[in-house]
Copies of this chain bind each other. A is one copy, B any other.
């Protein structure tokens, strides 16, 4: 387990490409439409995207070297920026979980993410880029908050850090990505999860 460094504040995770104009929006919307509609990613072509977006192929190639790079951006931008850590470990854990809950409220986002996750084995470059650019920074931000919570005495120090990460984030990721009909409406859900996880499921 990496050592806790309570002196180093955890960084918020921001989108890599905030800038976006009309053509780019149309391209993103076209790919999302294709993905949510069930088109296999392996069958998506730059030509098909250009047609659906009403732009020329050159407009796409000016921005992205290939399909995989574009797909990574499509999936990355579904991530809303994570909240700036407050420094209070329990609140920050709740905010991190609530952030995933709020993202999951958009059904279209869930569909596109599920379609992407379900097909990444066919596009190893996309899978690698997604892991490097989306999963890894977010996982590290989450583990940083957990290490801080351990350092503050909010979380016990005798449980493996990766296991802590899965116990804290697994339930909300399961509810928000895997199942379409799960309930994410309750604004108190993240707090209830953290309360139950910290206090334990056994009677006291």
Q: In the complex, what residue of chain B is closest to A158 when comparing beta carbons? A: B203
Q: Is the CB of B117 within 8 A of A178?
A: yes
Given known A38-B119, A174-B174, A178-B117, contact A163–B196 (CB-CB < 8 A): yes
CA distance A42 to B127 in the complex (A): 22
Q: In the complex, what residue of chain B is closest to A149 when comparing beta carbons? A: B201
Q: Is the CB of B114 within 8 A of A115?
A: no
Specify how many copies of this chain sit in the oligomer: 2
Instruction: Please tell me if A118 contacts chain B, counting CB pairs below 8 Å.
Output: yes
Prevailing SS type, chain A contact patch: helix
Instruction: Please tell me if A192 contacts chain B, counting CB pairs below 8 Å.
Output: yes
The segment out of A5-13, A59-67, A79-87, A165-173 that lies at the interface is A165-173
Given known A40-B38, A121-B114, contact A199–B196 (CB-CB < 8 A): no
> Interface 1/0s, chain A 170-183, versus B by CB < 8 A?
11111101111101
Q: In the complex, what residue of chain B is closest to A108 when comparing beta carbons? A: B121
Q: Contact size class for A?
A: 35 or more
CA distance A204 to B197 in the complex (A): 13
A contacts, CB < 8 Å to B: 36-43, 111, 114-123, 127, 131, 135, 153-157, 159-160, 162-164, 166-175, 177-181, 183, 189, 192-193, 196-204
Give 25 CB contacts A-B under 8 Å. A38-B122, A43-B43, A114-B117, A114-B121, A115-B121, A116-B118, A117-B117, A120-B180, A127-B180, A131-B181, A154-B202, A156-B201, A157-B203, A159-B192, A159-B196, A164-B201, A167-B197, A167-B201, A168-B201, A170-B173, A171-B171, A173-B174, A173-B178, A174-B174, A198-B201
